[in-house]
């Protein structure tokens, strides 16, 4: 049973994908690891070696997946020379006001900023802040009924491309902004994404209903990205950890900046006591130089600062 529960995130079919909300939670994986090690050790002490095999394999699987999703580059740092490097920052800002981010954006001097859950009522404030800091800015509403948007800010001019559309909760349409910039005379497509989260209905979170929608959204985004030969940077809140089945279409297509040049677990949620890595920068056509998790403002997510250079 321990082995089946451990392997479930890798075995789920579309009909069972909703179970990923439970089966792939990091805290549950930790509990399964402790139980698997305990059962295997007890079996070995009692010289019941065959009984120890499956829980032992379960423990090895969890340990292996943990290391495969961690950053293992303790020496990776943002280079002091900015020439030839692209600094990218992404965060779910939890509808916080632009004033919360003045210091971060001014000191970070990022080339690209990708943010989610920007309150529509703060749009003018974001536009003023972007102008003050020398950014071009683009707003795209997340859902027509959501009161929030995703935004892209870039130090270089933005070419607005048609937003990617996908089905969302309650038969609404979810929009994923897509723009194009030129980096070293090469077109680069930028996406800021906020994949389906656990829907809030009558003041409570609905555990089931989001995973299948996330998978569909990931498949549609992956199809759009695969259709271009341009380098791509996708940043945002995936509302799913790296082992969730629902974001595999994107992770199978793009590289994860954190595993390439971060160090440690890279947990971004919850900001006060992070226990899951659900925010990411994924890309193709680049090499990751460094990746750093940043705590800022009152948002329930931490931010992610990634430095990329062209892979050409």
Query: Tell me: the pLDDT tens digits for 161-218?
Result: 999 999 999 899 999 999 999 999 999 999 999 999 987 776 677 777 899 999 999 9
Contact between 254 and 306 under an 8 Å Cβ cutoff? The reply is: no
Backbone φ and ψ for 287, nearest 5 degrees, come out as: -120, 130
β-strand pairing of 232-237 with 204-205 = unpaired
**What are the structural domains, with CATH classification, of the chain?**
2-69 (no CATH), 77-310 (3.60.10.10)
215-242 exposure pattern, b = at least 16 Cβ within 10 A, e = fewer: bbbbebbbebbeeeeebbbbbbbbbbbb
Separation CA 11–CA 17 (nearest Å): 9
Residue 202's pLDDT is 63
Report residues of the chain scoring pLDDT below 70: 202-203
Residue 246's pLDDT is 95
């Amino acid at each position: 049973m321990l082995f089946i529960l451990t392997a479930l995130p890798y075995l789920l079919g579309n009909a069972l994908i909703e179970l990923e909300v439970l089966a792939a939670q990091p805290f549950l994986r930790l509990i399964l690891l402790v139980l698997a090690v305990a059962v295997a050790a007890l079996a070995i002490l009692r010289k019941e070696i065959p009984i120890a095999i499956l829980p032992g394999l379960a423990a090895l699987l969890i340990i292996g997946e943990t290391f495969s999703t961690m950053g293992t580059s303790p020496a990776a740092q943002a280079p002091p020379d900015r020439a030839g490097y692209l600094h990218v920052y992404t965060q779910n800002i939890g509808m916080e006001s632009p004033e919360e981010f003045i210091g971060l954006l001014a000191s970070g001097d990022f080339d690209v900023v990708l943010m989610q859950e920007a309150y529509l009522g703060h749009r003018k404030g974001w536009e003023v802040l972007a102008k003050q800091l020398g950014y071009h800015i683009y707003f795209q509403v997340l859902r027509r009924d959501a009161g929030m948007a995703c935004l892209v800010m870039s130090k270089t001019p933005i070419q607005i491309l048609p937003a990617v559309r996908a089905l969302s909760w309650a038969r609404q349409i979810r929009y994923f902004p897509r723009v194009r910039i030129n980096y070293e005379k090469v077109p680069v497509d930028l996406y800021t994404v906020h994949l389906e989260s656990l829907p809030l209905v009558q003041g409570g979170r609905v555990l089931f209903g989001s995973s299948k929608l996330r998978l569909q959204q990931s498949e549609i985004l992956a199809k759009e990205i695969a259709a271009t030969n341009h380098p791509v940077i996708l940043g945002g809140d995936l509302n799913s950890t790296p082992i969730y089945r629902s974001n595999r279409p994107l992770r199978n297509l793009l590289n994860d900046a954190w595993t390439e040049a971060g160090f440690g677990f890279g947990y971004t949620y919850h900001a006060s006591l992070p226990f899951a890595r659900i925010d990411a920068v994924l890309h193709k056509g680049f090499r990751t130089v460094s990746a750093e998790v940043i705590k800022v403002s009152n948002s329930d997510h931490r931010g992610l600062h990634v430095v990329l250079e062209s892979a050409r």
